[in-house]
Amino acid sequence: MLRSETGQPQQIPTVLVFGGHDPSGGAGIAADISTLLALGCHPMVVITAITVQNTSQLLRYQLLDPQLIAAQAGALLEDAPIAACKTGMLGSAAIVAAVAEAVTALSTVPLVVDPVLYADRGGPLGEADLVAALQTSLLPRAALATPNVNECRALTSTAEPDQAARELMARGCRNVLVTGTHAPTPKVVHRLYQASNEAVKMSQWPRLNGIFHGSGCTLATAVAAHLAHGETMADAVNHALEYTWQSLRRAYRPGSGQSIPQRLWRLHRVDP
Ligand code: PLP
């Protein structure tokens, strides 16, 4: 438990996130901020990229200067105690290097790496050098990585969850949650692999109708929020999966394209 300057336990732990801006409000930092507020954390947000997209399509993205990203992080780190950290869209090897350097000051803080490589609507969300940089600089520091099967295929030799998780843990990643939304199974099956424990923890969820945008961001950030509250990894993952499924069950369509998780469902007076 972090302590405030007065020595009191911090009731609202701060989570530091690095991610891109999705103007549609579905994914990226809008997803991170709303998830963290819903789960009783304070978001501190370092923006890595601006994307041009709506709920139907991704048109382009512009990465920010790695020095600007390092400066944003540096200003926060000299100011505030951080309880957990999460990375989303990073976009290039130079940005991964800036983020990896920034988080060396947070070696005792759990780091959740959502290895964002593509937009669900198609199209890459990063440069060709991104995968190797994630593999060598950031995933080895991660308390948890949250790849889907497509990201497993890009980051390891296989999309097969057991082998992909083994390869990521061999790089130093301490826990791997392979998410099952993109696998063609009747139920959605998520698998948590832990370097400290041989047993794979499987979690099955009814598959919801609809095409969602921002579910991966919501899940990874929800795990970081629960870790910031001091939960074990297994509890944090279970609670984050429940929160994300409940957000997806109440998803809504603010535009003409994909549905967006209702991340503030606990605050609504009338619950559908
Ligand atoms: N971050 C940004 C800025 C994005 O634009 C996207 C997808 O478009 C993502 C992350 C990944 O989104 P999802 O949670 O749907 O995997």
Parse the chain into domains and list their residue ranges. 12-252
Q: Average pLDDT across each block of 10 residues of the chain; the chain has 272 residues. List them in order.
A: 58 97 97 98 98 96 98 97 98 98 96 95 92 98 97 97 97 97 89 94 94 96 98 98 97 97 84 58
The pLDDT of residue 260 is 97
The pLDDT of residue 266 is 84
* Structure tokens that stand for 178 in this block: 């392979």
125, 119 Cβ separation under 8 angstroms: yes
160 Cα: distance to centroid of ligand 1 (angstroms): 23
The pLDDT of residue 133 is 98
- Whether 214 lines ligand 1, by a CB cut-off of 6 Å, is yes
4 Cα: distance to centroid of ligand 1 (angstroms): 33
The pLDDT of residue 31 is 98
- Whether 216 lines ligand 1, by a CB cut-off of 6 Å, is yes
pTM above 0.85, yes or no: yes
Q: Is 270 exposed, middle or buried (0-12, 13-18, 19+ CB in 10 A)?
A: exposed
31 Cα: distance to centroid of ligand 1 (angstroms): 9
- Is the domain 12-252 a CATH 3.40.190.80 member? no
* Structure tokens that stand for 264 in this block: 């503030």
- Whether 88 lines ligand 1, by a CB cut-off of 6 Å, is yes
The pLDDT of residue 10 is 63
